[in-house]
Every structure is written in C-alpha cells, then in structure tokens.
Amino acid sequence: MSLKSIARAAGVSISTVSLVLSGKGRISDMVRERVLQAAKDLKYKSPLYTQEGATVAVLFPLDPEWRHVLEFVGVILSALESKLTAAGYVPVLVPISFTDEAEVISRKLEVLNPRAVGSVHYINEELFAALEQRGVPVVIINRSLLQDRFCTVCVDDFQGAYEAGKYLLGRTGGGRTVYIGYEKSIMTNLIDDRMYGFQKALLEAGCERPQQELFYVAEPLPSQLDQLLRPLFSAAPPQAIYVYDDYLALFVAAALERLEPGLAGRVELLAPGDTLDYSLPCTPQLSTMSIDTIQLGELGAELMLSRLQSSGFELLVRKIRQKLLVRAAGNKTI
C-alpha cells in the first residue's frame, strides 16, 4: 500500500500523508485523523515493522523555507516507494534539515541500518562518502551538483532553460526577453544551469550581451521585486520573462500587477515547475517547463535497485527532460 493510495482515500496531498505518518508538520487534528483512518482502512503497515535487511532510507528536507516544494517532492517519494516496495524493500522516510551536520544524520541512519540510502532534493558530500565507504550505496534524486561522484537522477535544467528561452523568443518575435532568478544559494548549480541555458538561447537569437538580460532577487519579497521591475519596465520593457521557478513566478506576476494593472496579462511568463499544486482552484494556471516527478521517483528507485543488486560501483547518471506545458492562465501566452 503506497502513500498515494492513502492520499487519494483521505482527500489530501501525498506530502500531507507523509507528514502525518512521520509525526511531523503542523497538521490539523481533523486532517490527521482522516489520514490515520484511511491508512488503517487500507491496512497500511508502517515501514518500521519489516524484516531485517530490507530497509532503504530516504532522506528529504523539511526546512520551513522549502515548504513550497513539498507537493513536488511528495510525488517523487510516492513513485520511489511504489517501486522499492514492489521489489521487496521498504523505504523509511527520514526527515532532515539542510543545516544538519553529517554526524547528526548519520546517527539517525545507524538506528535504521539501511541497505541503501536515497536522498531527495538534498546533498551532503561528507555523509554520502562515509556511507559509500561503509558499503551503503547512495543515490541522489533531483540534485545534480555531485553527479561526478555519486549515482544521480536529476533534471536537465540547462536544456529546459534553453528550450524555454527559444519558445519565448519565438512567441515575441525576437522581442526583449529577460531572466529573473535568485541570487546564489545552496542551489548554486541549479541556478547556473538555468541561467546559462537561457543565455544560450539569447546568444543564438543574436543578443550580443545576454548578461544584461539577467536579473536577480535574494528572496521573493514584494519590496525586492517592485524595486527590480520598476526601472526595468520604464525604459525598454521586456515582452517576456523566464523565471527561475513557478513559485517565484507567482510573485513576479503579482509585482507586475502592482506596477500596472493588466501588465501581467501583456507579458509572456514561463517558469520551470511544477512546485505548485495546479489542481487547486486558487493556484494561477502558469505555463511551465514541466518536470515529470513520477519519472524522477521511478528512475531513482531503479537506480537504487541496480546498486543493491550489484557488487561493484559504477557511476550512473540519469537525466530527464523538461517539457513545455501551456496552461490556460490570465496572460497572453495561452
């Protein structure tokens, strides 16, 4: 029985089921009871009650500033769980923080004594190297920074940004197209891949100084975005904006409306995703370079199973393509 089945029965998201079953997060009593009842009705068995040697640990961060990716990560975890369970292994979710020291996480894993470790959206070179030295295979999912050292399943963000740039330039007839992203952070490689992929599209379109079309904010705060967009739209207004992700794109669209009512409807917006839950009626239907989270989870599980069945180490990397997904939203792209 998978988290996805419980989520469907309880009428909640997969990430909510994960939080309830792990005793984490701020979940209302009503929702918690509904999830637990659904798990009971479906005869869900906790991963803690499994035969020795069948446990696979799955690390995932629960830092407050990353809550907006829980829906995204939840689908990955569900697909990962289904594949591993079908192969006779039981994945145990291990909530962690980006600020945790390697030793802290290592102690958590020692209690579980897992056969393998998967890490979703999180990397720690010191921890992963120590696990590999002890004979515990590691597979990184949805982060590309350490793909030259550890087996990895990730998204081709360079390709996605390049194709997004070409699409926007085509939609605007070569009109001014800019990038809005975050300043450097722990996701440095992700920021670089999306920035350089977008620049490549600009260069091919004849832009001599693509660096001048790159703009950054530290956080998606209204004050920062207003300060950025006001001068940008006062001189040579861009006709299209490629945004770092659809979470930031929400704030960009709101800032455009503050700058001038209706402006968000006259500017092409496109962003990688899908970190937002587009099934909710309150979520603006943004066009995205969609990421197949089910495929990320399934490929991650297949790579883990391959490593569990192999006696040696072979560096394997799997990348999935982003695909343009045009949605019916309140701007002229769609």
Strands 214-217 and 177-182: parallel
Does residue 56 sit in helix, strand or coil?
A: strand
Long-range contacts of 134-142 (CB under 8 A, 24+ apart): 136/109, 137/304, 137/307, 137/308, 137/313, 139/300, 139/303, 139/304, 139/307, 141/76, 141/80, 141/296, 141/297, 141/300, 142/73, 142/76, 142/296
> Under a CB-based contact definition with an 8 Å cutoff, are residues 178 and 215 in contact?
yes
What is the pTM for the complete model shown? 0.78
Tokens of 8: 């469907």
Report which residue type is found at 25.
G
The reported pLDDT for the residue numbered 242 is 97
332 CB neighbour count, 10 Å cutoff: 13
| Cis peptide bond prior to 193, omega within 30° of 0 | no
The reported pLDDT for the residue numbered 48 is 41
The reported pLDDT for the residue numbered 70 is 83
DSSP H helices, 185-292, are 188-204, 222-232, 246-259
Tokens of 186: 């722990």
> Under a CB-based contact definition with an 8 Å cutoff, are residues 147 and 140 in contact?
yes
Strands 138-141 and 240-243: unpaired
The reported pLDDT for the residue numbered 31 is 86
Long-range contacts of 251-255 (CB under 8 A, 24+ apart): 251/220, 251/221, 251/222, 251/225, 252/180, 252/225, 253/284, 253/286, 253/331, 254/222, 254/225, 255/222, 255/225, 255/226, 255/228, 255/229
- Length of the chain in terms of residues written: 334
- Mark the ranges of the chain whose per-residue pLDDT is less than 50: 47-52, 329-334
314 CB neighbour count, 10 Å cutoff: 8
| All residues at 6 or more sequence positions from 210 whose CB lies less than 8 Å from its CB, including other chains | 198, 199, 202, 203
